[in-house]
Homo-oligomer: A and B are copies of this chain.
Amino acid sequence: MDQHAIQDDLTRQVNCTCFNLRKATRAVTQYYDRMIKPSGLRGTQFTLLAALSEMKAITITHLADFLMMDRTTLTRNLRPLQKQGYIERSMGDDQRRREIRLTPKGVAIYQNAKPLWEKAQSVLITRMGEATLKDLLKALSETVSAVE
């Protein structure tokens, strides 16, 4: 390959949707994790507790659908939360279903972490601007639609 072809490769690679998304996600995840760390939670764990706090009880499959997450990923992400006693599982009427809900301890830590998440979110919005956030969410939504 000559230099022009190499340069073309580099340019295209730098614009790779997957690479850029992963890069941004790494940076933003680290930011949220730092901000929420005093609560003892990860950003991803906060997301799960927040979702569960909006619902009485829900099955793994339904929660995975709601969060657009692979079911088996969710199963494993719930493990640390169960180990810490933040959630509990029980059989549903249908013996195939496992219902998940927050424990009082889980509600407490969620309430404890919420201000930290609020702060993380508001600081980020201040820094990037509301317009950019709006653009980002719109672009992300359209991107997800494009790969489905």
- Contact across chains for A23 and B132 when beta carbons are under 8 A apart: no
A41 CB within 8 Å of chain B: no
Contact A121 B54 (CB under 8 A): no
Report the separation of the CA atoms of residues A86 and B148 in the bound assembly, to the nearest whole angstrom.
31
Contact B28 A18 (CB under 8 A): yes
Report Cα–Cα, A24/B147, bound state, in Å. Answer: 9
Nearest CB to that of A13 among chain B residues? Answer: B50
Best-buried of A10, A30, A142 by chain B (most CB within 10 Å)? A142
B9 touches A50 (CB 8 A): yes
CA of A138 to CA of B23 in the docked complex: distance in angstroms?
13
User: Which single member of B26, B53, B121 contacts A69 (CB below 8 Å)?
Assistant: B26
Known: A19-B47, A23-B140. 18 other contacts (CB 8 A): A10-B54, A12-B121, A13-B51, A13-B54, A17-B28, A18-B28, A18-B31, A18-B43, A21-B21, A22-B44, A26-B68, A27-B68, A28-B147, A132-B143, A132-B146, A135-B135, A136-B142, A139-B139
Residues of chain A touching chain B, judged by Cβ–Cβ distance below 8 Å, are: 6, 9-10, 12-13, 15-32, 43-44, 47, 50-51, 53-54, 67-70, 114, 117-118, 121, 124, 127-129, 132-133, 135-148
